[in-house]
Structure formats: structure tokens, C-alpha cells
Chains A and B, each alone.
Chain A
Amino acid sequence: MRIAIVCAAALGVASMAASAQDNDAGRDLAASCAMCHGTNGRGAVGYEPLAGMTKQELVRKFTEFRSGAKPATVMHQISKGYSDPQVQLIAEYFAAQKR
């Protein structure tokens, strides 16, 4: 482990570590949507693209799926698996993706 960290620093990647950790949480959660909505929320057929959707819009739609206000075949069931803070992270990630 020690060697690895030293080497990582030598490669100039260790400095990324702290900030990368937070971004990774949103990125990793968002990756669970990609098999339907496309890699990084882009390029999918038959499903709405999530890339570039504003944070506000995604959070609203997702929350409406959870409450049952927005009709769904599957999103009402999937959305109940994610907490409010997780939805925020997911929405931030997709909002930052190019359409």
C-alpha cells in the first residue's frame, strides 16, 4: 500500500484523491441508470436521455415517480431504491453531462 501511494503521488494522481471521491459517488450511482438510459445518460433509444437534464427537473421527475404522481412501468419501483441525497448526486452528475 505504501509503495502504491508513493508511486501514485509520483504519477501526480494522489492530489485528485479527495475531490474524486465525492464525484465518484454520483458517477457510480448514475452508472446504474445507464443500461436503460445510455452510457452517461446519452445515446439511448426508446428512453428519455438524462444527459444535460437540469438538476431540478431530474429530481422533480424522480420524486414524482416515487410518490406515484408520474405514471410509470418501472421507474416507480426503481426510484424507491434511492435516497434523497442520492437523487441529488445523480441529478448533479447528469446535469453536468453533455446532451
Chain B
Amino acid sequence: MNRTFDRRDFLKLGGAAAALAAAGCATTPQTKARVVVIGGGFGGATAAKYIRLWDPAIEVVLVERANLFTSCPISNLVLGGSKTMEDIRHSYDGLRKYGVQVVFDEALAVDAAKRSVKLERGGELSYDRLIVAPGIDFMYDQIAGYDAAMKTGRVLHAWKAGAQTIGLKKQLTQMKDGGVYVLSVPLAPYRCPPGPYERACQVASYFKKAKPRSKVLILDANPDVTSKGPLFKKAWAELYKGMIEFRGNAKAIGVDPKTNTVKLEVEDVKGDVLNVVPPQRAGDIAVKAGLITANNRWCGVDWRTLESTAVKGVHVLGDATLSAPLMPKSGSMANQHAKICASSVVALLNGRSPNPQPKIANTCYSYVSDDEAIHVASVHTWNDKDKTLTTVPGSGGVSAARNALEGAYAWAWATNIWQDMLG
């Protein structure tokens, strides 16, 4: 708090800030503080918008490397063929009407003592509070040969939507009928717990129409399906009979693109398309900023404020956090983290104490076909005894059965959460 209202901070501006000024976005006299947000995903973009919504006197600069947002939720439907890349790509322009300054640049380093972020092209940005919402990066070294295999383009994860989604779709399109698509799932926790099983449905749905003799083989490092297991298994049995094989305790330890092989601890498995999703950790900038506190992977936070337990004045959102109990790494959760964070940042910068009792809700929809979906929902609230967010007893649950009504709700959810973060 101590430097919050120091005018000099606004004068120590580097290239990015100078560019903002040149673009007519200079700090106005009414501005009481500046918040910098690194990462324009479900967490970062939502936080940027909501801080402006709740206190327009706070200057918000969002630093994002891509000039279009590409959504991971719904990206499996691009593989299935019922949606396109255009459907999951969205502009950041909508944030401008809230007065969020969007800077397309790469954050290279954070100097928490100086309270500044170093950008690749735009010099330095000073901040009063920093929000780091970097999503995940991959631990390629956990799978022997992965780096090299990925460089050949033969092995993809497609676990960040974008170029790899397009690449994987192309491989599926080019695969011969009768081929085997192998999907390797890392040990939990990873981004989007039901994501792999939805992807299996979507690829099988495409095969059913275009290559009916083909197979989906799920090699899961976990002992069993980690989310909505009975609902997914029922869909596999009823909609894609004989097409999807699930193997638990099947952790990938290596890949060889020359022989099209995924190496497990006890055997090698061959496939025609190898979609190997490596284990994950908080995004690189969180590592560089010293925000990692758990297992060299995740960022510990105070769940009342999302402030880092390692670095004061820095908040971490979304998949990068060390998840609270039973909390999935989902777009939904990142959206809700962002609102706890926005509320507390606004309170703190106005000299008030943050909301002592935050409560947030999660819903993850998964499409098991073109038009039928299932969900898992939960409500998480501050628990004074455990000093974390825990689920409200009796709340939450899963769909009774897959259904088309929820297929419609799932698409509406995606449209509305994109709007809630970007528009």
C-alpha cells in the first residue's frame, strides 16, 4: 500500500508508457493508481475489465502477447468439426470501452522491488499492483524426446488453443481411415480436467462421420477418468461403441516420432496421430517473477485476495495458482478468481479492507457430441478454519444425463463468458 499514491511512479515511465501517452491514453489527473495485468486470458482480461468497471479512477494496462484471444473452451469442437477457429477467436477491442489500455507485447521480467514490468518492445511499465495471469506452460523435459518431436510437428499437445489446434485438426484430416489417434493425458493437476475426455468424444465424433474404422486410444497417467467419469464412459459406450479405448495408469515417459510411438513405463504404444499432453506448471513469467511456491510448478495465493504468498503487491490468477481443494483449473474458475482479485485490488487501492468472505462458482461444460453436453458445477467459499476456499456442502454436482438442452446452454455459456471478459 505504501507507494500506492506516489505521483512520481507515474512519471518514471518507459517506452510502453510513453507509447500509451502518445496514443492519447496518458494517466489522467483523476487516476489514483495503476494496475498492470500480464496475460489476457479468462483470468487477466476479466480482472482488467472488472477493475475499470468497479473503479474507473484506477488505470489498468493489460499486457498480452497475442492480438486475438483464442479460447481453449470450445476448441475441442473445432477438432470435432462443429465449430471453426473463427468461432473461438475474439478481439480485445471491447475492453477499450471500459478504458482498459491493451498493450500487445511480451512481459519479460518483473522487478517487485521497483514495482515495474519489463516488456520486450515497450520498455518498462510501473505499477501499484500487478496481476499475473499467465496460464500454463509445459514441462517438456518430463517426456523424453518431446521437444524434438514437437519441433518436427509430428507430436502435438493442442492444449493451448491456436496453431496447435489447427495442426492437430490437419493431422486428423490427413490420417487414413482405420488409423489410431492416441491421446496421452498427464497426471492431475492439469488445465481443464474434463478436457481430454471431451476431446476423445469430439475426435470420435469426427471419425464416426469421416473415418468410421478409426480408433481413439486414451493413455491416461491417472488411474481413472478424472472428471465426470460415469457420464463420459456412458457416452463412449453409447455414442462411439468400440471406437474409444481407455487405459488408466498409462503415463507417457517418452515419444519417438520416427516410429510413431508413445513410450509408457511398461510398454510402447504405436499410433497414427500422437496427441501427447505434457505435465504443466504456471506460465514462464510466473517462474521468472519468483511466484512459484509449490512443487516447482504452481503459485500459492491468499484466496481472499489472490495475492501471491511469495511476492507482496502481486496477484496471481487462473490455472497458474496452486488450486484450492476440489478447484479445477478452468476458464470458469479463472473468471471468478479475477473477480475476487478485482474486488480486493479496488478495495486496497481505495484504503479499504478486501471482502472478507469471497464466494465463487464453477461450471465446466463438456460436449460429448455435436449437440449434447454434460456439466460439473461447484460453489467455493472462504473457509476461516482452513484458510482457503472450500466447496459449500450440499452444493454443486453433475448432469443427470447428457442432453441437448445443456448443449445449447454450454454454447451460451461460452458466448457469455467471452463477453464477460472481453466486451
Contact = CB atoms under 8 A, between A and B. Distances in A.
Interface string A1-44: 10111011111011011001100110111011111111100011
A22 to B, nearest CB: 11
Interface stretch (B82-90, B113-121, B238-246, B356-364): B356-364
B235 interface: no
B209 interface: no
Contacts of A45: 412, 415-416
A20 B2 contact: no
B381 to A, nearest CB: 7
Contact of B397 (A27, A36, A77, A82): A77
A36 B419 CA distance: 10
Interface stretch (B179-187, B226-234, B347-355): B347-355
Contacts of B358: 28
B363 A78 contact: yes
A47 B416 contact: yes
Interface in B306-349: 332, 335-336, 339-340, 343, 347
Given A13-B351, A46-B415, A74 B359 contact: no
A70 interface: no
Nearest to A17: B352
Nearest to A47: B412
Range class of the A interface residue count: 35 or more
Contacts of B251: none
Contact of A32 (B57, B361, B391, B419): B361
Contacts of B417: 35-36
B313 to A, nearest CB: 12
30 contacts: A1-B1, A3-B1, A4-B1, A4-B351, A10-B5, A13-B32, A13-B351, A14-B351, A16-B350, A21-B352, A28-B339, A28-B340, A31-B50, A31-B343, A32-B339, A32-B361, A34-B420, A35-B336, A35-B417, A38-B419, A46-B409, A46-B415, A46-B416, A47-B409, A73-B405, A74-B363, A74-B377, A78-B395, A80-B379, A80-B394
Interface of A: 1, 3-5, 7-11, 13-14, 16-17, 20-21, 24-25, 27-29, 31-39, 43-47, 73-74, 77-78, 80-82, 86
For the complex of A and B, 9 pairs with smallest distance between CB atoms: A81-B379, A46-B412, A81-B395, A7-B5, A8-B351, A4-B1, A81-B392, A80-B395, A35-B417
Interface of B: 1-2, 4-5, 32, 49-50, 53-54, 57, 332, 335-336, 339-340, 343, 347, 350-352, 355, 357-361, 363, 375, 377-379, 381, 391-392, 394-397, 399, 403, 405-406, 408-409, 411-413, 415-417, 419-420
